[in-house]
Structure 1
Amino acid sequence: MHAPAGFASPVVPVYHNAGSISAPTSIPERDTRDVLHPITVNATDKDWVTHVLPTGRIVSPVGTVDGTPNFATNVVALGPDHIAVLANGATRAQTVTLYDTKTLRAVAQLAAYKENADPRAASSTLSTVGHQSLYQGIATGPDHTFFTAGGDSNDVAEFRFEDGKIHLLRRYPLQWQAFPKDQYPYYYQGERKPGKARLFYPDAVALGPNRRHLFVAGMLSNSVARIDLKTGQTQYLNVGPYPFALTLADGGKRLVVSLWGADAVAVLDPTDFKSLGTVAVGPQTGPDNLAAGVHPTALVARTDGPQVYVALANTDQVVEVDSQTLKSTAVLNDSPYPDAPPGSYPDALAIADGKLFVANAGNNDVAVYDLASGKALGLIPTGWYPTGMTVSQDALYVVAAKGLGTGPNVQHQWVGNMMDGLVQKIPLNELSEKLPGWTKAALDNDGFSEPQRRAREAEDQKVTGFLRKHIRYVVFILRENKTFDEDFGDYKPAGAWADSKLDLYGPRQVPNLYDLAHHYTLFVNFMADGEVTAQGHQWTTAASDSDFVQRTWPEYYSGRGLVGNPGWTQPLIPVGAPGKADFHPSSDNPYSDYRNLSALGKWTNPWISYPERLFLFNDLLNHHVSFEALRQI
């Protein structure tokens, strides 16, 4: 994460650690934030796993923790003795790592290489496979087997854990399926290269009720595939835009599919492999829709009825759907406090002991609800950006994509893959005793406690009053891919906010930048909570970035089959060029993103990539503030 320089004549520090969030003074300085072995968090080790994020928020995971490779996105139980963690970061090799459920120690690992496997990496516990990608989906089968969704490799791979190693058993190839031209996102959203076939892009897998079939979601085909595991024969069925997750429901008589880009879930008959209908969980998408999507993502089914719960990542809600009647029957508000703005990003679900567990990627916690009443029971602190959960042997296991956050890059040089993930084990029998304390810690970590919110509101009013008194016009200039100290580390008026040891450029190299800083306002502690450009543009103009951007950028940054989504905020139709997706250098209309969407080619998916509250220019429009947007290319 970098702090881009922002301009709005004096140096103005943005108040530190918003809402009086403060880190324990005893947090040790280390040369890494990687967790290299299991740690059971107690009074002695608590400070070791407590870290301050770039925005001033704190992560302090509880239970037992261990490290995972970069960007862990899913975890499943592999029998009673192991869990399997899938990580699909923007890395040379993506991984599945097996952990012992008793000790949480890693016991075996699979490294899947985009191109040829590196034979030097193999060992007694590390297996390698070439020309294989992994993307989010993993499901377990009988006899220590598991299946992974291949994303860019356009297949499902079957593996077995045996004799201490992971062995490849078989790969099931899949084919891209065309979808109707009037079905969102209207155009194929995969990478276009000469000689590269279009991709089904598997992103979720589920074993059928009799273990005869494997069901696979195809994100770029708007389809689900059913593979006969004996013959390999594959059938396809269109289900709607961007299928994300799959779960069996109603005793195996229903297969429910969350549709990331349709504000709905699809319900299938897994036996006859036919559609039974869809259930709307948000406003219908279409060319006239001006709102961001609600982003139906994670699913979990009750074992005692037809109910399925679906996380709406972009609106901080969980919806209960009856898979028999095809109706939504309840809505659970997953906000951390009353009238909170969206940003919790619920994206993983689990059920155990009459409780519903909801992982909130935006809040770095797991919310616990009573399943019968929907009453909020408390919060469990996690690592940064929790993305997957499972229950096994009376414990809840949670994976967090960004672990404990960034530290000195002594082992990695690129910000996109320098953070290890984290796996966390929380014994369920500790909930009744520890949940009240964990809840307080989670709220304090995010600045969500009532005293913190009151202090922040008072500080906001003070700062806003000052700015309105002294500033009439604002020119916001965003400079990309430079930290504050690279440009201004030796800028004397910044005082203690600048670090001259990190300075790379001065007034000779960037004279216009220094002239702006000298004559106008320089924000010296203006943070953007994103590792790369795709996130950074949303953070700086929307104060958030969507779950879609977070989950897809590692794939297209590493050349794994996806096109770069419109995660930044440039308008998509230039003035004077109706129906074309070319960018215009100066006179773009910021609100034209929503005109002629079906004619925009690959840029037709703002609903799925934009955060719920949209962007700065939308807020200005809502408050009748005049503005002009210019973009340098």
Structure 2
Amino acid sequence: MLAGTAVLATGAAVALAAAGGQGSAGPKDDGTAITPVGYKVTPAGQQAQLGNLPLNAVLSPDKSMLLVSNAGQGTQSLQVVDPEDSEVVQTISYKSPAAIFTGLAFSPDGKRAYVSGGGREIIHTYDVVDGRLTEKDPIKLPTKNPDGQAVNMYPAGIAVTPDGERLVVADRLADAVTVVNLGDGSMATTAVGHDPYAVVLADGGNTAYVTNQGGNTVSVVDVSGAAPVQSDSIEVGTHPNAVVADAERDTLYVANGDSDQVSVIDAATRKVTRSIGLAPYRHAPVGSNPDALALSEDGRRLYVANSGNNDIAVVDLKDGKTDGLIPTAWYPTAVIAYDGKLYVTNAKGLGAGPNNGPGYPNPTSTAATSPDQYSGSMMKGTLSTVQLGGGNKQLKRWTRTVVANNGFEQKDSPRASGAVVPRRVGEKSPIKHVIYVVKENRTYDQEFGSLSRGNGDASLNLFGDDSAPNARALEQRFVTLDNFYADAEVSAQGWNWTVAANSNPYSEQGWPANYSGRNHSYPSENGDPAIAPNKDPEHAYIWQRLADKGVGFRNYGFYVNADAAGKATAQDPVLNAGTDRDFGPYNLSCPDSANTFPARGTTCGSPRIEEWKKEFQGYEASGELPAFEMVRLPNDHTSGTKAGMPTPQAYVADNDWALGQLVDEVSHSKFWKSTAIFVTEDDAQNGPDHVDAHRTISQVISPYTQTGRVDSTFYSTASMVRTIELLLGLSPMTQFDAYATPMVNSFTARPRVEAYDAVKPSTDLAAVNTVNSPLAKVSAKQDLTKEDQIDERTFNEAIWKSVRGAGSVMPAPRHDLYGAVPNDQAAELDDDD
């Protein structure tokens, strides 16, 4: 814990106002920003714009070049930065399926550069002349194992031996390490731990230390012989990623991304000698998410990039204590210490802002979505160059800034008048049952922009009273939430946030390649321990925490797939035990509500809401309802304009009719007086919003919220999770839900118990797209078997045109962090996919 930092009483009490105040998320005119969770972003130093999601940076041996890899969802790029003035002097672009990833290395003489190619199964190679790169033929890694089976090596971290003769590669998705002979191109591979990420060399290049990001080990690999051999395995913290070596002291430092620690390893004994804690306050849950390290030039300090806290921790290696914190932009991913400066890459820069310009996401439009309007690619990374000459006074000032930005000094606030949400875990509440409904991908303006209240833009309202009458009526009759944000850009992060209050470095690094056809696995909604954002992956999710406390829950569609018999099944045994196997998993061929919904090519069983109602009516008959229900209603995702599938309006109406029936059923039941229904989207990527691309739909439906008020308090996904935790008696899972403002202002102590009568949408629920629908041919090629496995640009454009008409025109992008983009970057920055 940082010395002198006040304690936030997480798990004991909650504050009623976040540091983000009552403002909105996104970039501000003064070069600062507010993240969707509410943290303020005030980066120190000089700022420069980079490409889409910078993940790593490395200095050349002569310190004349800073190489940056931008591995985002859109056009990826390799950039050369002049460290003297932090100007980008060269950009080499890679449109999908071409790819780069995190691995960066120079030859010892600085005449060659190597960059990992991720899902392309290659290592890019470059000649380096006069501070510029010229790409040469790549090194091709194996695509089959010795048995002839296909493998996905997905090269991540790389390192060149001191003699320049061998390249060591961490094969992220093959759980392996490959050593390449750079002279003749021969190579050999050996198995290591789960999801190896970074490589550092010791013993004159004869020993490689490889962090296994999917587990909690560092593999020790002998690379001196004809073939690499794993000789040892060192247990460290959870999900280790970055590693640096201090050759003079024979010491390694490893960042543990989900246990908020740095493990210190004695290379001679191969033992962990101590762990450096990175918790920002006493008893803080996880969430600092360290993902990059750098040693000071004298080896006395370690700089740790805390991606979750938007800061650099300055650690005194003599005593292992944090001397202070340096504020960064959003989500720092690499840090380099050189010549009295820190160079820090920030993956998300200053955030998104509005995405209501021309080419904004629209599921009914024929025009392509602009990369500057899509939440997955519109945020530009930044480079912070920070002068370190200010001494301890400057560091103290920076530390105070970080503490204020992230609310590390929150104090208990008085109980809100008449609040029914407990202020402390364990306090009583009239709410005994919570139903958590998660849908897919809509913005606030898309459904609520034309409401008679709240901060909406009617010109962006795509789904109105004809296709979303229940959602709109519920938003007005109960509480209108017009300042609520998804903490994610896309579903792969969004589902992690909705059930674990975090998206860890593994998921943040992997989803862009998965979404853009670059051959990475989907880093969410499965049992892979690599994606679980917690010190203990077996206790990372809300259902596991409930099971630990003996609180009953029932799962309808969360984190499940269909088995061979078509039944819903979850990989996690705790979740599977509480799952309704007859409630259909994500499948856009199956209805949320409508028996007239045209199921295509699959056996669907009952509409999802009918299966839920059957169980709910059984609970009412028995008088025993689980304290927590998770209900997934996915069909507002839509299938764009794919011929033979429901129109976007029909999909949204099917989804809306299901939500209306759920509220109708609960409000007419004996459980109504003791129930709160929380509704949100996993993310907001499929639509425009005039406030910020993260602003999304949120509803809190209960007798205690039936007020008709507008609540413009700054809330996010983490706020909703925190409110649910307080009602169910759970402590925060991460720093984010510990920090987030509970949704207490939406509640009143005076309940209104009038029931809600669902309204069937007037839109034709059986309407289907035809071959003449806008972009029908393009939509037909989209993979809709899993959420977000599509080209969002054309998908959203198709939906817009379908609703507004083939000739409708969308408004122009408004996103510019630092003024005009240099000419040599313009093409790269305008062509994100």
The verdict on a shared fold, with TM-score over 0.5 as the criterion, is yes
Change (3 A) 1:508 1:295: same
Could you tell me how far 1:461 is from its partner in structure 2? 11
Change (3 A) 1:399 1:216: same
Per-residue CA deviation, residues 221-262 of structure 1 (Å, 9 max, x unaligned), is 111111111111111111121110001135545311000122
Could you tell me how far 1:522 is from its partner in structure 2? 5.3
Q: Retained in 1: the 8 A contact 2:447–2:463?
A: yes
Q: Name the counterpart of 2:348.
A: 402
Question: Counterparts of 1:193-212 in structure 2 under 5 Å?
Answer: 197-212=150-165
2:441 corresponds to 1:485: no
Task: Give distance in 2, aligned partners of 1:198 and 1:394.
Answer: 44
Q: Retained in 2: the 8 A contact 1:364–1:385?
A: yes
Per-residue CA deviation, residues 263-321 of structure 1 (Å, 9 max, x unaligned), is 10011223233222001125xxxxxxxxxxx2111101112222211111111111112
2:168 corresponds to 1:215: yes
Task: Give distance in 1, aligned partners of 2:467 and 2:48.
Answer: 44
Q: Name the counterpart of 1:291.
A: none
Once superposed, what is the RMSD of the aligned Cα atoms?
Answer: 3.2
Could you tell me how far 1:430 is from its partner in structure 2? 3.2
Could you tell me how far 1:21 is from its partner in structure 2? 4.7
Change (3 A) 1:52 1:19: closer
Residue 18 of structure 2 aligns with an amino acid whose one-letter code is A
Residue number among 77, 80, 87 corresponding to 2:70 in the alignment = 87
Identity, in percent, stands at: 32
Per-residue CA deviation, residues 44-81 of structure 1 (Å, 9 max, x unaligned), is xxx3x211222322111111221100100000002322
Question: Counterparts of 1:113-512 in structure 2 under 5 Å?
Answer: 113-114=95-96, 132-141=98-107, 142-163=109-130, 165-176=132-143, 178=145, 197-250=150-203, 252-272=205-225, 273-282=228-237, 294-352=238-296, 353=298, 354-409=300-355, 412-448=372-408, 450=409, 453-455=410-412, 464-465=421-422, 469=429, 471-492=431-452, 495-512=453-470
Residue 464 of structure 1 aligns to a residue in which SS? coil
Residue 86 of structure 2 aligns to a residue in which SS? coil
Change (3 A) 1:76 1:228: same
2:9 corresponds to 1:56: no
Structure 1 window deviating more from structure 2 (389-398 vs 78-87): it is 389-398
Residue 487 of structure 1 aligns to a residue in which SS? helix
Change (3 A) 1:337 1:393: same
Could you tell me how far 1:542 is from its partner in structure 2? 2.2
Could you tell me how far 1:469 is from its partner in structure 2? 4.3
Residue 434 of structure 2 aligns to a residue in which SS? coil
Could you tell me how far 1:473 is from its partner in structure 2? 2.8
Change (3 A) 1:318 1:164: closer
Per-residue CA deviation, residues 410-445 of structure 1 (Å, 9 max, x unaligned), is 571211110110111122333434111111111111
Q: Name the counterpart of 1:627.
A: 628
Change (3 A) 1:480 1:319: same
Per-residue CA deviation, residues 168-190 of structure 1 (Å, 9 max, x unaligned), is 1331110146599xxxxxxx9xx
Q: Name the counterpart of 1:18.
A: 18
Residue number among 65, 73, 80 corresponding to 2:47 in the alignment = 65
Change (3 A) 1:590 1:508: farther
Change (3 A) 1:256 1:431: farther
Task: Give distance in 2, aligned partners of 1:297 and 1:403.
Answer: 21
Aligned length: 521
Structure 1 window deviating more from structure 2 (227-236 vs 270-279): it is 270-279
Question: Counterparts of 1:553-572 in structure 2 under 5 Å?
Answer: 553-567=511-525
Per-residue CA deviation, residues 380-409 of structure 1 (Å, 9 max, x unaligned), is 111111111222333221101111111244
Task: Give distance in 1, aligned partners of 2:94 and 2:416.
Answer: 49
Could you tell me how far 1:455 is from its partner in structure 2? 4.1
Q: Retained in 1: the 8 A contact 2:437–2:632?
A: no
Residue 338 of structure 1 aligns to a residue in which SS? coil
Change (3 A) 1:63 1:307: same
Could you tell me how far 1:511 is from its partner in structure 2? 1.9
Q: Retained in 2: the 8 A contact 1:246–1:256?
A: yes
TM-score by length of 1: 0.75
Could you tell me how far 1:370 is from its partner in structure 2? 0.2
Residue 481 of structure 1 aligns with an amino acid whose one-letter code is N
Residue 325 of structure 1 aligns with an amino acid whose one-letter code is T
Could you tell me how far 1:561 is from its partner in structure 2? 0.7
Could you tell me how far 1:17 is from its partner in structure 2? 5.8
Q: Retained in 2: the 8 A contact 1:251–1:303?
A: no
Task: Give distance in 2, aligned partners of 1:463 and 1:502.
Answer: 35
Could you tell me how far 1:324 is from its partner in structure 2? 2.4
- Structure number, greater radius of gyration: 2
Q: Retained in 2: the 8 A contact 1:109–1:165?
A: no
Change (3 A) 1:339 1:22: farther
Could you tell me how far 1:490 is from its partner in structure 2? 2.6
Residue 58 of structure 2 aligns with an amino acid whose one-letter code is V
2:487 corresponds to 1:529: yes
Change (3 A) 1:251 1:431: farther
Residue 436 of structure 2 aligns to a residue in which SS? coil
Residue 344 of structure 2 aligns to a residue in which SS? strand
Residue 309 of structure 1 aligns to a residue in which SS? strand
Mark the runs of 5 or more structure 1 residues left unpaired by the alignment: 1-13, 30-46, 116-131, 181-187, 189-196, 283-293, 596-623
Residue 304 of structure 2 aligns to a residue in which SS? strand
Residue 216 of structure 1 aligns to a residue in which SS? strand
Task: Give distance in 1, aligned partners of 2:158 and 2:119.
Answer: 15
Q: Retained in 2: the 8 A contact 1:133–1:150?
A: yes
Per-residue CA deviation, residues 79-137 of structure 1 (Å, 9 max, x unaligned), is 3222011101111x31111111111111112112335xxxxxxxxxxxxxxxx410111
Task: Give distance in 2, aligned partners of 1:459 and 1:107.
Answer: 54
Task: Give distance in 2, aligned partners of 1:231 and 1:302.
Answer: 31
Change (3 A) 1:28 1:229: closer
Change (3 A) 1:460 1:373: farther
Mark the runs of 5 or more structure 2 residues left unpaired by the alignment: 1-13, 358-369, 527-540, 542-556, 578-624, 635-833
Residue 417 of structure 1 aligns to a residue in which SS? coil
Task: Give distance in 2, aligned partners of 1:327 and 1:337.
Answer: 28
Residue 84 of structure 1 aligns with an amino acid whose one-letter code is L
Task: Give distance in 2, aligned partners of 1:430 and 1:356.
Answer: 17
Q: Retained in 2: the 8 A contact 1:179–1:222?
A: no
Task: Give distance in 2, aligned partners of 1:549 and 1:457.
Answer: 37
Task: Give distance in 2, aligned partners of 1:297 and 1:101.
Answer: 25
Could you tell me how far 1:497 is from its partner in structure 2? 4.4
Task: Give distance in 2, aligned partners of 1:255 and 1:355.
Answer: 23
Task: Give distance in 2, aligned partners of 1:460 and 1:280.
Answer: 50
Q: Retained in 2: the 8 A contact 1:133–1:153?
A: yes
